[in-house]
Amino acid sequence: MPEEDVSAHYTSAGLLAAIRDGVARLSKTPATVTVDELAPVDEFHIGGRRATEHVLGQLGLTPDQHVLDVGCGLGGSARFATTRFGCHVTGIDLTEEFVATGQVLCDWVGLGDRVALRQGSALSMPFDAESFDGAYMLHVGMNIADKRELCAEVHRVLRPGACFGIYDVMRTGEGDLTYPVPWAATPATSAVAAVDDYRLALRAAEFTITAERNRRDFALEFFATLKARTVGSSGPPPLGLHILMGDTTPGKIANMVGSIASGTLAPVELVARKAP
């Protein structure tokens, strides 16, 4: 699928201004808002910060490491990784608006010297071989058809012994998907694949898979809690994924949750290691 179509799906004019307005509704300013307060809008994956903590917590990150965030979006997970584990993080994402906005958010919270976000393709990254001590991607592969090329490119830029954490929505059963969903308005920009496709891609790239976990129950609990919180509310919260997905947010979420509930899809974690 054309990468420009994927980028266009995520681009929405005025993203930074909308986030700034949301921060003001929290009675905060760019100088006082925190990494945790930005999390509802900059952790664009099922489970948000809780999911990020679980995936990154399996990678053994330490302060002396330089870590790669593949498909970093607004950089929320990169900022969390830096504040929790002390590491430096470089993120790469196709969508220029995400990268530009995310770098501003890094500056707001004082992490501009520890988190660097770059625009580019995960299939051809502008990094030297063996540049990173670890890598992760959170809800990214659903927009990348060639999983083998993706895993091979991540393997190339990782140092020996490094871990690669994946948390993607994967196909776990039969059935057609109903669109739109958060990562695609139509099947043309959706590259959802079966768990086994990821396993084969990782092994073809000479990774060893060390952990796997289906997070279907976690996802359904997360969305049930989210729905309960919105009952009786007068509108969306100041910061949330509605800022990224716009007026189509309810339909996209409902279609995705329906496919998870039916067993067609599930968010799945995979952790793999490059040979020492």
Residue 32's CATH number: 3.40.50.150
CB 69 within 8 A of CB 106: no
CB 90 within 8 A of CB 112: no
In the chain, how many domains are there? 1
pLDDT score for 172: 98
pLDDT score for 11: 95
Per-residue pLDDT tens over the stretch 197-213: 999 999 999 999 999 99
Q: What is the pTM of this model?
A: 0.97
Which segments of the chain have a pLDDT < 70?
none
Per-residue pLDDT tens over the stretch 239-263: 999 999 999 999 999 999 999 999 9
Which residue range is the domain that position 32 belongs to?
Answer: 3-274
Structure tokens at 92: 């790469």
Question: DSSP letters along 91-155, please?
Answer: EEES-HHHHHHHHHHHHHTT-TTTEEEEE--TTS-SS-TT-EEEEEEES-GGG-S-HHHHHHHHH
User: Measured in whole angstroms, how far is the alpha carbon of residue 129 from the centre of its chain?
Assistant: 23
pLDDT score for 240: 93
Spatial separation of the C-alpha atoms in residues 110 and 160, rounded to whole Å: 31
Q: Are strands 115-119 and 132-138 parallel, antiparallel or unpaired?
A: unpaired
